[in-house]
A = this chain, B = another copy of it.
Amino acid sequence: MFELDVRSRKPIYEQLIDNIKELIVTRVLQPDEKLPSVRHVSKELTINPNTIQKAYRELERQGFVYSASRKGYFVAPIDWISNQGKLEEMKEQFQPLLKEAIYMGLTKKELIRWFEEAEKEGGEAGDSGPESDQNI
């Protein structure tokens, strides 16, 4: 079901996250559909159950799936997933702050540094590399 690249430097739980996000966003996995169980994936990929759990938990935290205790993990409803509108709202919040900061000398470079810092401390898992433009 999922694919891993063993020679990638990206942690496998992150690979799982990206992998599953992709399947959800492309509707290969439908809302309320059950994800393969932690142990099932564990056996299939011969990795530890906790690694899958970590991925599932992170996906839950990000709102892509929900868990029904002791029943399994399920794909979240559409409206949960499409935060797109909220991102646009966010942008409106950012704009005035950004303008002021730019006025004070904020550079693109520095802003990127802030981004990476926030990324590291807080939420997201993605590597956000040169090409992965993971919109949801």
Contact = CB atoms under 8 A, between A and B. Distances in A.
A68 to B, nearest CB: 22
Contacts of A115: 98, 102, 108, 111
A62 B103 contact: yes
Given A102-B122, A102-B123, A122-B103, A108 B94 contact: no
Given A95-B114, A95-B118, A118-B95, A100 B90 contact: yes
A112 B110 contact: no
Stoichiometry, as copies per complex, reads 2
A128 B123 CA distance: 27
Contact of A134 (B107, B129, B135): B107
A101 B94 contact: yes
Given A91-B114, A94-B97, A118-B98, A104 B133 contact: no
Given A90-B101, A100-B123, 13 more contacts: A62-B103, A83-B104, A83-B105, A87-B110, A90-B104, A102-B119, A102-B124, A102-B125, A103-B125, A104-B136, A105-B134, A105-B135, A110-B131
21 contacts: A87-B105, A87-B110, A90-B100, A90-B101, A91-B114, A98-B118, A99-B122, A100-B123, A101-B123, A102-B122, A103-B122, A103-B123, A103-B125, A105-B124, A105-B128, A107-B126, A107-B129, A108-B116, A109-B131, A109-B133, A111-B115
